[in-house]
Structure 1
Amino acid sequence: MLSRFDINRLLLALILTVLSLVFGMTGFIVVENYGIIDAFYMTVTTVATVGFGEIHTFSQEGRLFVSFYILYNLVVVAYLVSVFSTFIFDGELRKIFKMYRVDQEIKRFSGHVILCGFGRNGRKAHHDLVMNGARVVVIEQDEQLIKSLNDGENEEDPMATGRIFAVFGDATNDLVLQQAGVARASALITALPSDADNVFVALSARALNSRLNIIARASYKTSESKLISAGANSVVMPDEIGGSHMANLVVRPEVIRFLDLISGLSADKLRLEELSYAQIRQDRQGQSIRELDIRSRTGATIIGLRQHNGSLLVSPSPDYVPAPGDVLLVLGSEAQIESFEVQYRQL
């Protein structure tokens, strides 16, 4: 992956080139009274050392200026040759093209998920999101981390696979969030190590996109209220969840084993899927849960229903008729859920 240092070297080389042309043209105009075209011609021939000769004989001041200008350009040209040789022979230009291509692809994303931080929690979130078909843009400061993961997935052309779309920089910076397409994103997960940074990311992201679903990681209970106030919709505390999980393995192990089936931590995993009223096939809208007959048709089971007013019904009554805004929660094996989606989800 192209480092920020390499990009800065390339930018410096381009800036020095432009400054050299401006300095040369200004000198020839001021010292020798050349017009703009003649000044540009003399600047280029001097820098290129082709030796076509002067348009008219230089004055003493002109000779002194040209002498220092040539010495200055010897240093500039040497630096330019060094930089461009590195970019050509070490493949840096190819890396720049890949980064540009990825950046242009991110600009076309809409409804994607932004993931800030690619540590242990971030990587797990990225894996699960991608497995569920979500488009994810990662914001990470450690370029080598993304490079090593991409190289492990595809050594020939890691960025072309699109498996990890990454923006390198500080997620607390508004410009970095905008580069990741925060205004077009549907959700943002901030899993940075520092609670203070997560608060700042939530605050910035909410200001840039008022409709964004923001999920934030927290290490301390005292940070939860701050994250909610900053704009986070949900706060997750991995340490607290892990501790409760271990305790429940002692007091109610079968419940935890069942939850592991749903979360995919077990080999024989179950799948918990949601289906909103708007996603139900039109010919099945308006039917009661009994009439939908999901269990006998697919083997999957409706275990809950989130009503449009926000209340949650556990094991809803068979006579309940889903209404606009409701969301069905369906549990089953992978095959059962696939059968459920084929028969009940709109294409």
Structure 2
Amino acid sequence: MIKRRLLFALILLAIVFLAGISGYMLIERWSFLDSFYMTVITIASVGYMEVNPLSPHGRIFTICLIIFGMGVLLFGISTFTAFLVEGELSEILRRRKMEKKISKLNGHYIVCGVGRTGKHIIDELYKTGRPFVAIDKGEDVCKKLGEKGLLFIMGDATSSAVLKAANAEHARGVFCSLSSDAENLLLMLTAKGINPGLKIIARAEEDESEDKMRKAGADGVVLPEFIGGLRMASEMIRPEAVTFLDKMLKGKEEVYRVEDITVVSNSVFIGKTLKTSGILNKEGVTVAAIRKGGKYTFNPSEEERLEMGDALILIGETKDIREIKKLAG
């Protein structure tokens, strides 16, 4: 609204200037420069003397120019002041700064839909130090994200332009947590069209949507009702285990998680045992399992030798696990 008023004020001011210049050139037969100068000092009311003596018609024209010109000028000043006071200018500058930050991201995650599911995804990514960009249509939702200093794009996540604005070309993965399965399917197809290598995790409301989403390119599909049912059963039959997981996931001072690390070709761990790798010496980190090929070994021996492609399942504080990930390559 303020932007429209500011644009309207600038247009009116331009019209007044053109009218003033044209009027003096036609009525007084002055040059363009003299007419422009006279128009400026008249509208600004600076009190300088006239360029040349005015004719009676010129004086009447000047009176009209002062009345309309001052009105337009005051309207423009008040609108520009409101533009600054209401934060429109600062919002534009903040938006541009955020767009620059997003354009520099690489290997980040995109969370599409900051609703009941999306807000928990964002919370987890933030706690574990993963870079991400959130996309949502809601103005209030985006305002809250901005107040927290989080990166976001306000718009339709199924739009290729919006996904490109979130730098999907260089992203690692996309979370599809929009309000309907149809929207999530469209989002997956759009995202894969921009970056075929994206890892996609989608939320599905209907059981039959899972197969469709996997065929559309989803790497993982989560059904909230299914997960919720398992959680309720676990609360009843294994309360201590659930309490332990809750403490681990919801701790505020220290963030403990179950994380996975893949041993890549340039890893310093290749050829070493768990003991000689130094992983077991890391305080607060436990090796819960190791995957070799398609087989998982739980609570592996310290003499287990690590090879390229192995995956380690670790339990520990996220900052300690990140240090191990750096060594793993």
TM range, normalised to the smaller chain? Answer: 0.7 to 0.9
The 3 A distance-change label for structure 1 pair 266 and 242 is farther
In structure 1, the partner of 2:320 is: 338
| Cα displacement (A) at 1:212 | 1.0
- Aligned pairs (5 A) from 1:173-212: 173-212=159-198
| Cα displacement (A) at 1:275 | 2.1
Q: How many residues align?
A: 322
- Among 129, 133, 140, the residue aligned to 1:144: 140
| Residue identity (%) | 27
In structure 2, the partner of 1:221 is: 207
The 3 A distance-change label for structure 1 pair 296 and 103 is closer
- Among 218, 234, 242, the residue aligned to 1:257: 242
Counterpart-to-counterpart distance in 1, 2:9 and 2:185: 41
In structure 1, the partner of 2:54 is: none
Counterpart-to-counterpart distance in 2, 1:180 and 1:110: 11
RMSD: 4.6
Counterpart-to-counterpart distance in 2, 1:326 and 1:122: 31
Counterpart-to-counterpart distance in 1, 2:321 and 2:178: 38
TM-score, normalised by the number of residues in structure 2: 0.72
In structure 1, the partner of 2:306 is: 322
Counterpart-to-counterpart distance in 2, 1:46 and 1:223: 71
The 3 A distance-change label for structure 1 pair 71 and 120 is farther
Q: Supply the AA of the counterpart residue of 2:140.
A: Q
SS of the residue corresponding to residue 272 of structure 1 reads strand
| Cα displacement (A) at 1:47 | 8.6
TM-superposition CA deviations, 1:15-36 (whole Å, max 9, x none): 784698599979x99xx8xx99
SS of the residue corresponding to residue 157 of structure 2 reads coil
Query: Is 2:231 the counterpart of 1:248?
Result: no
Q: Supply the AA of the counterpart residue of 1:327.
A: A
| Cα displacement (A) at 1:269 | 7.8
Counterpart-to-counterpart distance in 1, 2:321 and 2:194: 40
The 3 A distance-change label for structure 1 pair 269 and 49 is closer
Q: Supply the AA of the counterpart residue of 2:298.
A: S
The 3 A distance-change label for structure 1 pair 260 and 11 is same
Contact preservation (8 Å) 1:21, 1:43 = no
Which deviates more, 177-186 or 252-261?
252-261
| Cα displacement (A) at 1:146 | 3.5
Query: Is 2:90 the counterpart of 1:94?
Result: yes
Query: Is 2:148 the counterpart of 1:166?
Result: no
TM-superposition CA deviations, 1:40-79 (whole Å, max 9, x none): 99998999899x999xxxxxxxxxxxxxx99999997676
Larger Rg: 2
Contact preservation (8 Å) 1:261, 1:270 = no
For structure 1, list consecutive stretches of 5 or more residues without a partner in the other structure: 55-68, 151-157
| Cα displacement (A) at 1:208 | 0.8
Q: Supply the AA of the counterpart residue of 2:188.
A: A
Q: Supply the AA of the counterpart residue of 2:3.
A: L
Query: Is 2:306 the counterpart of 1:313?
Result: no
Contact preservation (8 Å) 2:204, 2:224 = yes
Query: Is 2:3 the counterpart of 1:10?
Result: yes
Contact preservation (8 Å) 2:290, 2:297 = yes
In structure 2, the partner of 1:286 is: 271
Q: Supply the AA of the counterpart residue of 2:225.
A: D
Contact preservation (8 Å) 2:204, 2:210 = yes
Counterpart-to-counterpart distance in 2, 1:279 and 1:176: 35
In structure 1, the partner of 2:106 is: 110
In structure 2, the partner of 1:119 is: 115
SS of the residue corresponding to residue 278 of structure 1 reads coil
TM-score, normalised by the number of residues in structure 1: 0.69
TM-superposition CA deviations, 1:103-159 (whole Å, max 9, x none): 222121121111111122211111111111111111122222333465xxxxxxx47
